[in-house]
Homo-oligomer: A and B are copies of this chain.
């Protein structure tokens, strides 16, 4: 099903010194399924996060924000599938907190040093007792080389685990990066959430980490869309265990800071794109690139209007070069002073529209040829300025409707 996505390459999933991952079956929603993951950090690890902007954010997201704000060193992540613990009110907070307390008790730390993550059914009570009962098994499983197991355990309707890594050298010291992620948008009838966890043994100033996390999210997870439905639980965590043998990076403008950011961004983008490639029912991977805007913001506005249009998405599914739909989406994207006679449109290398009208050399069969590819770039030139941006998305297929219309079972 997934578009040009393979199973992770285990050789690329580098252990991160100071970080262990443990997985077990807690029976949260179904039996015989890995659904609980702990990620444990040595003392001295720095953690930063970026969370959903959804105002109906889930209880675990609320706790993550609070626990990070206390400034106490985070020592563990606790991740469950099968239940999103969203729309669950005060009881949901208490249940999430009780799982943090139980894990903290076993580790001899404070509950504030644990961050909880949930993905699954909305509006159902979190079976926190089952999570607590399974903690010992998860802890017993914890090892530095369990990235692939963790990538599998956080899956919901993902058809493949998503995990990538990279190695670079900073001041001659080897630095490793490994990340895992799960499913885009609000995936299944009951499953919600994108989760991304990216870790490195690089030494990064704790003060710098939140800024770095935001910049990475902006360049990766915040540039993908499947159905435009922002989940209640989306979370992206950046972890630096500070074990590598190089001086601490305290600026993203330094040579070392730039090198690390570039490598981290590369892994984050692979993870984000993997989510789109494995989106529900996706048959095509589409890059929507908008150039020539007055601002990056208006380029994004146009890119999202195109990416969210059900008509554009069904046309891609059908391999139908029905490109007027793209023009229409550009037109309603919300740029009030847009001049349609300034617009050009390319589909891969095919020049479809010039100055707002059909290009004289455009032939339907050229559009048709591109539309049949599994990876397509839509390029819109606004003719207003020098800003540009891009979004990764997929098509809208019968399978999307089937998957999302299936009764929860």
Q: Which A positions have Cβ atoms within 8 angstroms of B? A: 53-57, 84, 86-92, 121-123, 185-186, 189-190, 192, 227-232, 308-311, 314-315, 317-318, 320, 322-325, 327-332, 335-336, 338-341, 343, 353, 355-358, 396-398, 400-402, 404-408
Contact = CB atoms under 8 A, between A and B. Distances in A.
Contacts of A311: 185-186, 227, 229, 404
Given A228-B308, A332-B55, A340-B55, A314 B122 contact: no
A49 to B, nearest CB: 18
Main SS at interface, chain A: loop
B56 A356 contact: yes
Which of A55, A57, A89, A400 has the most C-beta atoms of chain B within 10 angstroms of its own C-beta?
A: A55
A57 B331 contact: yes
Nearest to A325: B186
A317 B402 CA distance: 10
5 contacts: A56-B331, A86-B328, A229-B309, A229-B311, A320-B408
A331 B311 CA distance: 25
Given A189-B315, A398-B398, A401-B401, A328 B232 contact: yes
Nearest to A310: B227
B328 A54 contact: yes
A327 B189 contact: no
A341 B400 CA distance: 32
B358 A87 contact: yes
A322 B408 contact: yes
A396 B401 contact: yes
B356 A322 contact: no
A12 B252 CA distance: 71
Contact of A123 (B229, B308, B327): B327
Contacts of A408: 320, 322
A357 B91 contact: yes
Nearest to A186: B311
Nearest to A362: B123
Contact of A332 (B230, B324, B331): B230
A308 B305 CA distance: 12
Nearest to A407: B320
A353 B318 contact: no
A402 B402 CA distance: 12
A88 B327 contact: no
A117 B135 CA distance: 67
